[in-house]
């Protein structure tokens, strides 16, 4: 049977230099929060929750009433078209989740064993795993400290004759600096696949993510900016790519003959029920993005003068959609470290989440990236966490959260 990757005591020692020893125990206290809302309520503020106030129920009901609940039906086509339009691209290929959206993109583009794919080390594990599913090898670069995105200046040194693709991940909803990346990719004949799982509606120089490279993958998991419960989408302007992705998504059934297959395809289909929710969600995308940007401004305004708290930045060329509103804590200046502050917030019923653990610090990839160090990603991992970030978060809640942070640091 499959065995987990375990680190030896010595390796655990090496790991301790890279990331904090263990997750701090943060127990949420459910308590009355009279400070916000007209009526005191027993509640917590979750780090993220879906906002389902549009046509979700109506469309799901239509799907059920018409008996189309599996992976054919009008909502799938409508959702694909509407989401592609929202990204400013020609084609959207809906699939089961964000991870398989990335894998489907890579498989369709022909990534195979022996290929190398350059990714940022600071990301969610699905980015690296999608590469691994192809039998290809993820190759890591560090982040730039200003916007916490892949450091484009470090990419060229990692290109080898085996490099096939680069995967920028628009971390926490801020786009990667794409122009220099695309120039580099063109110079070396490489594919660029955006991992846009966290960046629905984000913009780079006025252009939406999802249409900035050769293809992109999105996630519609429950905590993403728009959700279908579970779901994902490939976006592209390349017609041939879209058609092959549609085909591979559905077992690569042949058009010539039934039960006749020329590829090893996948069942990565989305259901009409999920797409019904997705269509209702994408109708609200611009509103969600506006709410998140308003909330981020409010957080910034209330946090920026607290010494030792670093708020997220937005590049002059970027429209950040703040999938997660993350901050960094400087222990020396603030007076307590990240984990202690998270505990205080939890005691006040405020849920938070630590930043990603970089790929080079993952037990499962430990041997592969042995000895590699990426100081910016490691620093983000040690000091960063995100605050409640849902589109439905209210200004009164932000006031309450930021007051707790201000008091705790005194």
155, 163 Cβ separation under 8 angstroms: no
Which ranges of 304-348 would DSSP assign to H, the alpha helix? Answer: 331-334, 338-347
Work out how close the CB of 376 gets to ligand PLP at its nearest, in angstroms, rounded to a whole number. 17
* Nearest approach, Cβ of residue 266 and ligand PLP (Å): 14
Are 92 and 235 in contact by the 8 Å Cβ rule? The answer is yes
Nearer to ligand PLP by C-beta: 126 or 270?
Answer: 126
The distance of closest approach from Cβ of residue 245 to ligand PLP in the complex, given in angstroms and rounded to an integer, is 16
Q: Which is nearer to ligand PLP, 73 or 232 (CB)?
A: 232
- Taking the least distance from each CB to ligand PLP, the nearer of 349 and 358 is 358
> In the complex, what is the shortest distance from the CB of residue 96 to ligand PLP, in angstroms, rounded to a whole number?
8
Contact call for residues 182 and 192 (beta carbons, < 8 A): yes
Q: Which is nearer to ligand PLP, 126 or 181 (CB)?
A: 126
d(CA 150, CA 164): 17
Q: Shortest approach of ligand PLP to residue 124 CB, angstroms? A: 4
Tell me whether residue 126 or residue 182 sits nearer to ligand PLP (CB atom).
Answer: 126
Q: Which is nearer to ligand PLP, 86 or 171 (CB)?
A: 171
| Region class of 196: left (phi > 0), else alpha (psi between -120 and 50), else beta | alpha
State in angstroms the smallest separation of the CB of 169 from ligand PLP. 5
Nearer to ligand PLP, 97 or 149 (CB): 97
* Closest residue to ligand PLP, based on beta-carbon distance: 98
Residue 302 token pair: 């209330």
Phi and psi (nearest 5°) for 29?
-100, 125
| Least distance CB 309 / ligand PLP (angstroms) | 24
Cβ closest to ligand PLP, residue 213 vs residue 232: 232
CA 399 – CA 302 distance, rounded (Å): 8
Nearer to ligand PLP, 87 or 169 (CB): 169
List residues near ligand PLP by CB under 6 A. 97-99, 123-124, 126-127, 169, 195, 197-198, 219, 221, 232
360-385 CB burial, b ≥16 within 10 A, e <16: bbbeebbebbeebebebbbebbbbbb
Q: CA 328 from chain center: how many Å?
A: 19
Say what angle helices 239-249 and 98-108 make with each other, to 10 degrees.
Answer: 120
CB of 270 to ligand PLP, least distance (A): 11
Closer of 111 and 126 to ligand PLP (Cβ): 126
| Residue 357 DSSP label | P
Within a 10 A sphere around the Cβ of 27, how many other Cβ atoms? 7
* CB-CB contact of 267 with 103 (8 Å): no
Per-position DSSP letters for 262-311, written without gaps between them: SS---B-PPPHHHHHHHHHHHTTHHHHHHHHHHHHHHHHHHHTTSTTEEP
Chain-centroid distance, C-alpha 378: 18
Nearest-approach distance from CB 125 to ligand PLP, in angstroms: 8
Counting every residue, how long is the chain? Answer: 410
Q: How far is the CB of 199 from ligand PLP (least distance, A)?
A: 9
DSSP 151: -
């Amino acid at each position: 049977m499959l065995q987990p990757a375990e680190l030896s005591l010595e390796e655990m020692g090496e790991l301790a230099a890279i990331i904090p020893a263990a997750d701090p125990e943060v127990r949420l206290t459910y308590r009355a929060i009279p400070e916000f809302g007209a009526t005191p309520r027993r509640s917590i503020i979750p780090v993220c929750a879906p906002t389902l106030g549009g046509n979700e129920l109506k469309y799901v009901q239509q799907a059920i009433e018409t008996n189309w609940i599996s992976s054919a039906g009008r909502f799938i086509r409508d959702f694909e078209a509407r989401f592609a339009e929202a990204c400013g691209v020609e084609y959207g290929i809906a699939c089961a989740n964000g991870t398989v959206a990335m894998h489907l993109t890579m498989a369709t583009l022909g990534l195979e064993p022996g290929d190398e794919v350059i990714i940022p080390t600071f990301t969610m594990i699905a980015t690296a795993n999608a590469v691994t599913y192809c039998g290809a090898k993820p190759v890591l670069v560090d982040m730039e400290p200003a916007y916490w995105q892949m450091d484009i200046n470090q990419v060229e040194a990692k290109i080898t004759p085996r490099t096939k693709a680069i995967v920028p991940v628009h971390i926490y909803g801020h786009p990667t600096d794409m122009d220099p990346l695309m120039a580099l990719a063109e110079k070396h004949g490489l594919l660029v696949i955006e991992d846009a799982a966290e960046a629905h509606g984000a913009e780079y120089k006025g252009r939406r993510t999802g249409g900035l490279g050769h293809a992109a993958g999105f996630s519609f998991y429950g905590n993403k900016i728009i959700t279908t419960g579970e779901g994902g989408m490939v976006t592209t302007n390349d017609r041939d790519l879209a058609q092959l992705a549609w085909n591979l998504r559905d077992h690569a059934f042949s058009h010539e003959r039934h039960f006749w297959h020329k590829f090893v395809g996948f069942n990565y289909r989305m259901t009409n029920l999920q797409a019904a929710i997705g269509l209702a969600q994408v109708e609200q995308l611009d509103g969600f993005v506006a709410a998140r940007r308003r909330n981020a401004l409010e957080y910034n305004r209330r946090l920026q003068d607290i010494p030792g708290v670093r708020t997220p930045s937005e590049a002059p060329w970027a429209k950040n959609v703040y999938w997660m509103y993350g901050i960094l804590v400087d222990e020396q200046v603030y007076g307590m470290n990240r984990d202690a502050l998270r505990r205080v917030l939890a005691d006040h019923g405020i849920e938070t989440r630590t930043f990603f653990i970089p790929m080079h610090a993952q037990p499962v990839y430990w041997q592969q990236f042995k000895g590699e160090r990426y100081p910016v990603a490691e620093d983000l991992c040690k000091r960063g966490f995100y605050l409640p970030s849902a589109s439905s978060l209210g200004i009164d809640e932000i006031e309450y959260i930021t007051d707790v942070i201000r008091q705790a640091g005194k």
